[in-house]
Amino acid sequence: MPRYALLVEYDGRPFAGWQRQADQPSVQGAIEAALAKLEKRDHTIAAAGRTDAGVHARGQVAHCDMEKHWDPFRLSEALNFHLKPAPVAIRACAAVSDDWHARFSAHERRYLFRLLARRAPATLEAGQVWRVMNPLSLEAMRAGAAHLIGQHDFTTFRSTMCQAASPVKTMDEIRIEETDTGAGPEFRFHLRARSFLHNQVRSIVGTLERVGAGSWAPEDVRAALETCDRAACGPVCPPDGLYLMGVGYADDPFA
């Protein structure tokens, strides 16, 4: 069966997450339903990562197996037609080998978290950013984030429901930028690693926000990490500002 890689963008707000669920809308379910309009059978697709309810994506990657050979452009156009009106788009499609896998062939994932610091509620970007009312120190958050770079036991920063075999992960990058888009000061957290634990990004950003607000010292992040105790973590921030931005492969199928 011909295999195709799909570059997927979606607004996570209407969905209970990526993974197909029997009684709730999911991104996986929406794409599989669109595929069934093209080839009338049950479809199962695999993704590079399972995002939670409310989490968005600009660069999620999935793969599907089809019975007939499709021109990749025509397949993406047909899927986008049948995905309407769901806020899901196939940005690109590429034919890949039978042994290529959206999850297992990936060597890195890149996430963005957007945090808006202003007292007024977010209106135009509601559900797309995490709004906090207190001012934040960029330098303090950068100092706190530095303790998380490299290979560590991230038990402190993973959900108790995490199913990963090991809490040891290597954080390749945490880059924090401050910008003003006209809506107020926005802090953008860029995180890059081969793979992430469940709720790891939201746990890290929630903890760093406490550092930026002055409730934690930057050194407290290292102390929390070293306890390997979930109770030592700062608050887990909401999913609103989290985006899966991209997935890295040795041979980029969309290049």
Q: What pLDDT is recorded for position 181?
A: 83
Summarize pLDDT for 149-171 with one digit per residue, the tens: 999 999 999 998 898 999 999 99
Long-range contacts of 125-129 (CB under 8 A, 24+ apart): 125/183, 126/240, 127/13, 127/54, 127/240, 128/11, 128/56, 128/240, 128/241, 129/186, 129/240, 129/241
Q: What pLDDT is recorded for position 183?
A: 85
| Cβ-Cβ contacts under 8 Å for 99 (sequence gap 6 or more) | none
How many of the other CB atoms lie within 10 Å of CB of 186?
Answer: 20
- Give the tokens for residue 224: 């929390």
Give the mean model confidence (pLDDT) for residues 11-36.
96
Query: d(Cα 133, Cα 53) in Å, to the nearest integer?
Result: 24
Judge: domain 107-246, CATH 3.30.70.660: yes
Strands (E), the chain: 3-10, 46-47, 56-65, 88-96, 106-117, 130-132, 150-153, 168-180, 185-193, 242-249
* pTM given for the model: 0.96
Asked whether the predicted pLDDT for residue 126 surpasses 90, the reply is yes
Half-sphere exposure of 125 (CA within 13 A, CB side): 20
Residues of the chain with CATH 3.30.70.660: 107-246
Residues of the chain with CATH 3.30.70.580: 3-104
CATH architecture of 3-104: 2-Layer Sandwich (3.30)
Q: What pLDDT is recorded for position 105?
A: 97
How confident is residue 197, by pLDDT bands cut at 50, 70 and 90?
very high
Q: Which residues are catalytic?
A: 52
Query: d(Cα 161, Cα 209) in Å, to the nearest integer?
Result: 23
Asked whether the predicted pLDDT for residue 252 surpasses 90, the reply is yes
Could you tell me which residues are beta bridge partners of residue 6? 62, 93
How many of the other CB atoms lie within 10 Å of CB of 39?
Answer: 14
Question: At residue 37, what are phi and psi to the nearest 5 degrees?
Answer: -75, -25
